[in-house]
Amino acid sequence: MTATLPSAPLSRREWLLADHPQSRMQARLGRAYMVWLQFSANRLAMIGLSIIVLLVIVAMSADLLAPYSPVVGDLRNERLLPPGSAHWLGTDGQGRDILSRLIYGSRLTLLVVGLVAVIAAPVGLVVGTVSGYAGGWIDAILMRLTDIFLAFPKLVLALALVSALGPGIENAILAIAVTSWPPYARIARAETLTFRHSDFIAAVRLMGASPGRIVVRHIMPLCLSSLLVRVTLDMAGIIITAAGLGFLGLGAQPPMPEWGAMIADGRRFVLDQWWVAAAPGGAILIVSLGFNLLGDGLRDALDPREASR
Amino acid sequence: MTPMATARRSGIAAAGFSARLAGFLVAVTTTYLGLLAVTFFIGRVIPIDPVLAVLGDRAPASAIARVRIEMGLDLPLWQQFSIYVQKVLSGDFGTSVLTTHPVLEDIARVFPATIELATVGTAVGALIGVPLGVLAAVRRGSIVDQIVRVIGLVGYSMPIFWMALLALVVFYARLHWVAFPGRLDVVYEYTFTPISGLFLLDAIWQRQWEVLWDLVRHIILPASLLGYLSLAYISRMTRGFMLNELRQEYIVAARAKGLSDARIIWAHALRNAAVPLVTVIALSYANLLEGSVLTETIFSWPGIGSYITNSLQNADMNAVLGGTIAIGTVFIALNLLSDLLYRFLDPRTKAR
Block mean pLDDT (10 aa), chain B, length 352: 45 62 82 88 70 70 78 79 87 81 89 92 94 91 89 90 90 83 78 78 82 85 92 92 88 86 85 85 87 88 90 83 89 81 66 46
Is B243 in contact with A163 (Cβ distance < 8 A)?
A: no
> Residue A293: which residues within 8 A CB-CB, separation 6 or more?
A44, A45, A47, A48, A49, A51, B153
Residue A38 backbone phi and psi in degrees, to 5 = -60, -50
For chains A and B, count residue pairs whose Cβ atoms are closer than 8 Å.
138
> B232 to each of A42, A50, B128, how far by Cα in Å?
22, 24, 10
Q: DSSP characters for B113-151? A: HHHHHHHHHHHHHHHHHHHHHHHHHHTTTSHHHHHHHHH
pLDDT at A150: 83
Predicted confidence (pLDDT) per residue in A109-119, tens digit: 999 999 999 99
- pLDDT value for A82: 84
CB atoms inside a 10 Å sphere around CB A36: 12
Looking at residue B251, its pLDDT comes to 87
Describe the crossing of helices B270-298 and B160-167 by its angle, rounded to 10 degrees: 70
Cis peptide upstream of residue A255 (ω within 30 degrees of 0): yes
Among A86-95, A282-291, B42-51, B110-119, the minimum mean pLDDT is found in B42-51
Contact check, Cβ <8 Å, A236/B308: no
Chain B residues with CB under 8 Å of A183 CB are: none
CA angle (A171, B83, B112) in 5-degree steps: 65
Exposure b/e, A249-280, CB count within 10 A at least 16 = b: bbbbeebbbbbbbbbbbbbebbeebbbbbbbb
CA distance A93 to A78: 9
**Residue A285's pLDDT band (cuts 50, 70, 90):** very high
Does residue A38 register a pLDDT over 90? no
Other Cβ atoms within 10 Å of B104 Cβ, number: 19
CB atoms within 10 A of CB B302: 18
Residue among A244, A271, A292 minimizing CB distance to B169:
A271
Of A157, A280, A288, nearest to B38 by CB-CB distance is: A157
User: Can you name the residues that pair with B102 across neighbouring β-strands?
Assistant: B95
For A34-44, what is the mean pLDDT? 85
A91 forms beta bridges with A97
Would you call A81 helix, strand, or coil by DSSP? coil
Q: What pLDDT, on the 0 to 100 scale, is given for residue A8?
A: 64
Q: What is the mean pLDDT of residues A281-299?
A: 92
Q: What pLDDT score was predicted for residue A181?
A: 92
Residue B8 is predicted with a pLDDT of 47
Q: Do B321 and A144 touch (CB under 8 A)?
A: no
Judged by DSSP in three states, B92 sits in: coil
A248/B296 Cα distance (integer angstroms): 12
Cβ of A149 within 8 Å of Cβ of B323? The answer is no
Chain-chain contact of A270 with B169 (C-beta, under 8 angstroms): yes
What b/e readout covers A41-57, taking b as 16+ CB neighbours within 10 angstroms? ebebbeebbebbeebee
Say yes or no for a CB contact (<8 Å) between B39 and A243: no
Q: Which residues of A touch B321 (CB under 8 A)?
A: 160
Which chain B residues are closer than 8 Å to A247 by Cβ? 159, 161, 294
Higher-confidence residue of B180 and A309: namely B180
Q: Which of B153, B162, B243, B289 is the best substitution to test chain A (most A C-beta atoms within 10 A)? A: B162
Residue B5 confidence (pLDDT): 45
Helix (H/G/I), strand (E/B), else coil: B258: coil
* The pLDDT of residue B114: 92
Distance from CA of B232 to the nearest CA of A (A): 13
Distance from CA of B85 to the nearest CA of A (A): 17
How far B314 CA lies from chain A's nearest CA (Å)? 10
- Give percent above pLDDT 70 in chain A: 95
Give tens-digit pLDDT for A101-110: 999 999 999 9
pLDDT score recorded for residue B6: 45
Per-residue pLDDT, averaged over A119-143, amounts to 91
**Chain B: residue whose CA lies nearest to A285:** B158
Mean pLDDT calculated for residue range A40-46 = 87
Residue scoring higher pLDDT (A236 or B190): A236
Kind and range of the H or E run holding A176: helix A169-180
pTM equals: 0.85
- The confidence score (pLDDT) of residue A5 equals 52
Distance from CA of B22 to the nearest CA of A (A): 15
Q: How confident is the model at residue A304 (pLDDT cuts 50, 70, 90)?
A: low
Determine what percent of chain A is predicted with pLDDT higher than 90: 33
Interface with chain B: mutation pick from A163, A234, A267, A299, highest number of B CBs within 10 Å:
A163
Average pLDDT over residues A9-38: 83
